[in-house]
Structure 1
Amino acid sequence: MSISLNPYLCFAGNAKEAVHFYEKALGGKVMGIMTFGDMPTDPNHPLTDDMKDRVMHAHLKVGNTDLMFSDTFPGMPYQPGDSVQIAIHPTVEESAREIFAALQDGGQVIMPLQKTDWSPLYGIVKDKFGVTFQVNVPVN
């Protein structure tokens, strides 16, 4: 049996901004963004204008990896990013530095990029949306 996994990131109304941020920071390609307003209307469950603009589902392709996104409904409980971390494995150190720098813009460095026992360059950064990334250059 083959199983494919991908991170799915939830936001409280700024998923569209996050998709485009990660597209630029990670060199990805947006495959699609669907808002709740793109769905057929249901008179039993009318949407506010704010809800219509929220992301129901978005897909960002980064290399061979799929990142998925959505927004919560207004008023739903939301805890930013700490429950999901994403490990990124660029094979070139310069790429690792560029990605790390892009992600730390407006965010917080948890562990600066440095040589470790398992990697020539490894660091942890929490971006401006509260999502934690581990940047890890694999040993050749």
Structure 2
Amino acid sequence: MSIKLNPYLNFDGNTKEAVYFYEKALGGKVMGIMLFSDMPENPDHPLTDDMKDRVMHAHLKVGDFDLMFSDTFPGMPFQAGGDTVQIAIHPAEEAQARAIFAALEDGGQVVMPLQPTEWSPLYGIVKDKFGVTFQVNMPAEEPCVE
């Protein structure tokens, strides 16, 4: 059996800003953004003006992986951030790890600075300006097995 998982992030009206922020910070490519107003009108559920510009679905490709996004409906309960889910990023090169960490740190908060650990030559945790927590973990070199 094959299965594929990806994070799906929800925001409260600022999804477009977040998608373009992550596109730049993570070196990704926006694959598409669909607004609620792009959907066919439904007279049983008319859109209010403040809903029309909210993102119904957005897709960002980062390397071989997908990040997906959506805005909540106005007035829906929304809690930014939280630590129940974190996104782990595994850049192969130190320069890339440092650049990603710095980009996510801009307007955010460093939880654990980038530093060597027992399991990684460079590891750190940062909560970005949207309240999403990222672990930047540069993989250790694989030992040579002969």
TM-score range, shorter chain: over 0.9
SS at structure 2 position matched to 1:50 = helix
CA RMSD in angstroms comes to 0.6
Q: Give the aligned length.
A: 140
Match of 2:15 in 1: 15
1:1-140 to 2 correspondences below 5 Å:
1-82=1-82, 83-140=84-141
Q: Which runs of 4+ in 1 moved over 3 A?
A: none
Q: Deviations over 1:4-43 (max 9, x none)?
A: 0000000000001000000000000000000100000011
State the 1:84 CA deviation: 2.4
- Which runs of no fewer than 5 residues in structure 1 stay unpaired? none
Q: Which residue identity lines up with residue 103 of structure 1 in the other structure?
A: L
CA distance in 1, matches of 2:117, 2:107: 25
CA distance in 2, matches of 1:33, 1:85: 23
| Structure ID, larger Rg | 2
SS at structure 2 position matched to 1:81 = coil
- Which runs of no fewer than 5 residues in structure 2 stay unpaired? 142-146
Q: Deviations over 1:46-105 (max 9, x none)?
A: 111110100000000000010000000001011112132100000001100000000000
CA distance in 1, matches of 2:7, 2:90: 15
Q: Which residue identity lines up with residue 139 of structure 1 in the other structure?
A: A
Structure-2-length-normalised TM-score? 0.94
CA distance in 2, matches of 1:129, 1:93: 25
Structure-1-length-normalised TM-score? 0.98
Q: Which residue identity lines up with residue 76 of structure 1 in the other structure?
A: M
Percent identity over the alignment? 80
